[in-house]
Each structure stands twice: as C-alpha cells, then as structure tokens.
Amino acid sequence: MSTVEVLEPGELAVALGMMAIALGLSVWQQLGLEGELIIATGRAIAQLTVVGYLLEAAFDKRNPWWGVILVLIIMLTIPAIMARNRISKKIPRLLPVVWAAILVSTALTLIYTNLLVIRPERWYEPQYLISLAGILFGNAMNAAALAGERLVSTVNTSQIEIETHLCLGATPEQALAQYRQDAIRAGFIPTLNQIMLVGVVTLPGTFTGQMLGGVSPLVAASYQLLIIFMLALTTLVTVVIVTHGLCRQFFNQFAQLQKF
C-alpha cells in the first residue's frame, strides 16, 4: 500500500475552506456561532502547530530519555488541570489527586504495554510512549471529570442521607460507597460504550489514521484493539483513584461532612 501524501500549505489552505463553509452556514441560519468557530479554528491551528514542532523535537532519535519524560509531564499536567477545573475549583488539594490518578493509571498501562506487548528497543521510544500516552491522557481526563462531577454533585444534594448514615454508625467510606460506585460507572460508561461500538458504528481515529498512512487494515485493527484494552484499564484505574481521593476530601478530621 502507498504511504500517505504530505499535505502542502496550499492544500491545507483549501481544506480551511470547509470552515469557511461552516461559517457561512452559521450566518445563513443565524446561529451566532461565527465567533466561536473562528476562535476554535485559530486555536486548533496554533495548538497543533506548536505541538507538531515540540513532538518533532521529541521524536528525534538523539533525544535523551529525560526530554521524552519532560514532554510527558507537560502533556499530563494540562489535562489534570482541565479535569480539576471541571470537577470543582473549591475542593482543596484536588489537583494533586487528579494528577496522581492520571499518572498512576497511564504509567501502569504503559509499563504493561511496553514490557509485555510492544517491547521496543528503548523503553522511552517516543514513537510509542508519547503517542500512546497522549491518547490515554485525554481519555483519563474525561473519565476523571465525569466521575468527579457526578460524585461532587451527588454528595452536595444528598447531605441529609449521608449524615443519616453517619448517625446510624456508618463510617465515611460506607456512607459514600453507593455514591462512589455510581460515579465510577458514570466515568467509565463512555469508554465502555466506545469499546462496544468500535468497528460497528464508528472507525476510531487511530484506525483510520493508520490506514491513511498506508498500513494494512488488519494491522490497523490489531493496534486499535491494543489501544482499546489500554483505554479500559487506564480509565477504570483513573476513576477509582479520583473518586477515592475525593471521598477523603468530603470529611474533616472529625469525620464531619463538608459541602463544596
């Protein structure tokens, strides 16, 4: 199969015409989305250009291991902050909890994959480490935000029930157990749905991207299966850690429920 054709600047400029059509449609239908479309387009161009240059340097074979790790730390910190902001800015020490959850879940998955599945020549091979970590970070961020939002909102609206359980002798962990389980399910369900529908309703970006690059569909499917398994483990570990950390934040040193 042929390799993918490189898109020249002129061809990308023509592709930008699709956004111009979307703008025209927004104006025609009086949707008021013009400003948001322009900002989103500008941000996408700027962000992907910067990321492209950074990863071009990171993928350099002469790049030391600490350079790859530095890129990963930057890639980890941004989604951790975004997930924290979506959950709540009022909860103290929440950012370290989310950051650690995404780090532990992603590291566990990548170590397993590198040692037992891919087995690259160098453990810090950016072709695999950065590419796979980027996919995992984004999904872990969404799962953490969904689970955290659900848990915070449920606890804030169920204070009477929780305090009743505490008065009846339940520990803080027991009083929040059901709410935590519901939050874990809420954070994991999108990934579960993605797994169930892959190849039937949607063709994931990794799969189509590899085929555009000239890879055999069967090889692309095998890598997509690997990513699906990685996403399942990373997402579930993330939401388990995030909800556990959140539950500890809901109570003070006297086991009294706090509202955020």
Higher-pLDDT residue of 159 and 124 is 159
On whether residue 255 sits in a domain, the answer given is: no
Q: What mean pLDDT is predicted for residues 7-13? A: 81
- The pLDDT of residue 211 is above 80: no
Closest CA to 39 of 27, 23, 52: 23
**Of 30-34, 67-71, 154-158, 227-231, the least confident:** 67-71
Percent of the chain at pLDDT above 90? 38
State whether 48 and 91 are in the same domain. Answer: no
State whether 78 and 130 are in the same domain. Answer: yes
Mean pLDDT of the chain: 85
State whether 148 and 78 are in the same domain. Answer: yes
State whether 17 and 113 are in the same domain. Answer: no
- The pLDDT of residue 2 is above 50: no
State whether 115 and 191 are in the same domain. Answer: yes
Higher-pLDDT residue of 197 and 149 is 149
Predicted pLDDT at 203: 67
Q: What dihedral do alpha carbons 172, 173, 175, 181 form, nearest 10°?
A: 150
How many domains, in total, are found in the chain? 2
SS3 for 62?
A: coil
Predicted pLDDT at 5: 63
Residue 210: domain span = 64-249
On whether residue 102 sits in a domain, the answer given is: yes
State whether 9 and 126 are in the same domain. Answer: no
What backbone torsions phi and psi does residue 16 show, to the nearest 5 degrees? -60, -20
On whether residue 254 sits in a domain, the answer given is: no
State whether 15 and 137 are in the same domain. Answer: no
pTM of the model: 0.79
State whether 73 and 118 are in the same domain. Answer: yes
Domain finish residue from 37, 58, 79? 58
Predicted pLDDT at 30: 87
State whether 54 and 68 are in the same domain. Answer: no
Closest CA to 95 of 250, 216, 245, 253: 245
- The pLDDT of residue 84 is above 60: yes
- The pLDDT of residue 49 is above 60: yes
Place of tokens 């997402």: 235
- The pLDDT of residue 174 is above 70: yes
Predicted pLDDT at 63: 67
As beta bridge partners, residue 257 has 251
pLDDT class of 1 with cuts at 50, 70, 90:
very low
